[in-house]
Structure 1
Amino acid sequence: MKRWIVSIGMAILLFVGAGQANAEATVNVVVDGSPMSLSKPAVTVNGYTIIPMKDIFEKLGASVFWDGDHEIVTARKEETNVQLKIGSPVAQVNGISYLLPVEAQIFEGRTMVPLRFVSQVLGCGISWDGDTFTAYVDTKSMPDENQKLDQAAIDALVPKLGTESIVGREPNNIGLTDKEAMMSILLPDEIARKEWESLPVRSKKYLLYQVVQKNREQVANVEHCYTIVKFEDTILIGADITENINPDEVKLVDGNILLPSYREQQSAISQPYKWPTNQTDQDMDII
């Protein structure tokens, strides 16, 4: 099986929104340098681009099948089999379930699917020009190995992790407001630490996100939850992970996790970092 089949991390995001599409803006789509001619314009929904199903699958060399009775789209290309159900936040790729950034849905009588997910699951690179609202798809591009999402490894590690949360400035005076929280994700032993360290960067970010969502009731009333991973007294990695921030927007720079530009001033802790007894916000190594 080709390596890119499992390298679809950028597409596996928290599901946001449901039902009929409510378009925000139209999007230009360029494949290998040539603008696509679409039966219906691609549009953004909840910040994600959706595109006519048949147009994009056939452009990327996949065979498309439609089950109208169950509203299921199936696309096949070489060893990759993809299924999307209208209105469902879950897609099946070679029998494995993945959360979608936005579900497949009906828009003005046309079946629309998320562009980034479809492109990357079929082995294509994709980039975005926000100035011109243009999505560029490169069928010859291979996903960065560091961007791979190893869902099986994440699923195996999550049950082993412990968590603790700190809400507001108490008890450790780390400079949080009443609308902020810090959640420590605790690695219980050396085996778990090695499993964590072996994860690709994108898998690390999604693991952080998954643990926060699993323990969401602990920080239900806060706007930003800063997560860190700790092994003994060492901070391994950290980021602001909330429902407002797509984990895919978080980036790694020189061993530090950064947020999108509008949050970079409140980004994360360097790795590794020794946790002092009297931790304060001044002690934290903030980028």
Structure 2
Amino acid sequence: MKKKMITAFLSSTLAMNVFLPNVYAKEAPKGASVTEMAGLTILVNEIPVVFDVPPVMKNDRTLVPLRAIFEAMDANVNWDEKNRAISAIKNEKNINLVIDSDVAQIEGEDHKLDVPATIYKDRTLVPLRFVGEAFGGEVVWDENTKKIKITLPDTTFQTIDAPVYVNDNKLDFGSFTRIVRNGVTFIPLQSVLDNASGELTWKQQDDGIDVQWNETKIKFVKDKNYVIVDGEQIQIANPLFDYKGTLVMPINIIPKVFGGYSHYDADTKEIFIYINQAKFKHEFLKKEEVIFKKPTNVEKASFAGNRRIMISDNPENLNDRTLPEDNVTLWHDDVQSGDAAVNHRVFGWHISELDKTATVGITIENLSSTNEIEVVDFKGTNRKTANGWVNWDVGLPLVDNVLSGKVMSVQMESPVVKAGQTALMKSFDIPKGNTLGFQYDFTVKKKSGTGELKYKIRTVLSKNGSDLASIKSKPVELDQTAKHPRGVWSSSQLTTELPPYEVGTEETAYQISNGATDNLMSQENGLGDKEQMIKNPGHFGASYLVKIPIINKTGESKTVRVSVGARGGIYNGAVKVDGKVYLIPTLKPMTELATIIDYVSEKEKGLVELEIMHAGGSALPLAIDLVTVEEKLEQIEETQELKNVQDAENNVQDPGKLAESQDVKNSQAPQEVQENVQ
């Protein structure tokens, strides 16, 4: 059975037909006909809705994000790019709106709109009051709380006696059956956990269930519109709830939490859920909460090695707007070289917003008329998921495999490409709503014949199952609204050397991939068609060699702690030190450090060498923090001693304070202790 992804994401917004005071207003960019709204809260059945863009006001009407509202209302939404139309279905009721039309339809009947559906900043806006009331809800502006409240009709339940499978294992619900609440399917959470693959343990709590799954900690919280993954809240439209003594979960949160996907068979009403296998090969570094020293940029960096890199990450969002044709070239590397062989790396990162599963491929076309070429040493890795937590489910597994060298070899059907021919190197299915990440290394060499190497490598996509090797069009236009990197550069590895760190001096820190002093993957440095490139300051797909000279003039054995911290946002990645690979856990900017190594310095001169790769969804730059452990401990002890002295001096100056303090401690002691004191 062909597996299909049924979870949909629609990046659009909708308008609310409610007037709000200007106290919330923040001016939109100059020339815009709307005003951005700061601090506005909207609730659906008393649950706050989390938006990915701020609400706006237009003609005294409030506009809010469509996807979040429709998900909160349990409505299924479809976008028709060709006709610029929106349709939504909830409880068998269907509404339709067309962009720039002030007439909408409910079950085929026309209804006049105060504000027509429109496009703003690449977003779709429609009147919320109409949508809410069309689905039987009540929309109210609460003047006291300054909130918009949407109240939907009472919940209705129905049961369906049809099987659910997890990783092809039929779930045993016992006397329980799967339920449908307002069109959304719920199943017992414990049944899913008992059938998930990998190392998984869970514990029932009063407010939900705590799960340890491989290296990930997950907390399912009852009656909340979020799940906590490694301390971060992942928003969900439909909370878990207790149904007849059983905690049930909506099936549609599985892609967001576990990184799996689900398939519904309309004929048999069977549901098939697939949860990914264990993803990581190496352990995570330990992190601690600490505010570390503000880092400075590395002074300079340079390319290392000769493996040229091609980045295919724009357009990142694959939809009918960014891909106007059924068969397209995403990006290409046009090679002409007098060398006998050329080393390559191809890195891709794309998110499908298409209506059905598409196919992405890497192809190579031999443009020479006088020689044959051969692809050798072809190896790499790929991941895909519908999970919104792409750092963990795509980015980290990629860098884990690549940095450790534990990647799969690829056997091409036709590794030898004759003059004028094109061969498919590797292909991937990308279901709707999935993020696909891949990275492959290979070498192209002359097999026979005369003349220089002349060939073209492409990443291509087909919406209709066409032969990928036949796609030879020019690359699609850059998506300027989401400026993700695209280009070709001469090397897939960078290197920098930090200024020497002297043992015993104060804490110091430097930041790499800062987009400034080490921005080598710029448009100017690109190879090929530079006008169609976008820079890669985050160095995604590349590894970064960092050398740290250590100077020890103390004559004693000292320990230098080398740690990493986030600077620009949530960070994940991997690091290799002394031949060992470690994963960098989720780091919050400037407040968490993960220790890589405690380097024992016994000689006057030493060197620490790191190789770092950033996970594909990470925020940058990354800070490298250096501190002498013994000096840090002494500072902590001195600070504590000073505090103790100050406390003692305060008590001497005010004897009554000491007695008062003791009285407070006594009052907080257990009853039997208080009696003994008295």
- Please state which band the TM-score falls in when normalised by the shorter chain: 0.3 to 0.5
Question: Which structure's residues are more often helix, by fraction?
Answer: 1
Q: Scaled by the length of structure 1, what TM-score is found?
A: 0.43
Bigger radius of gyration: 2
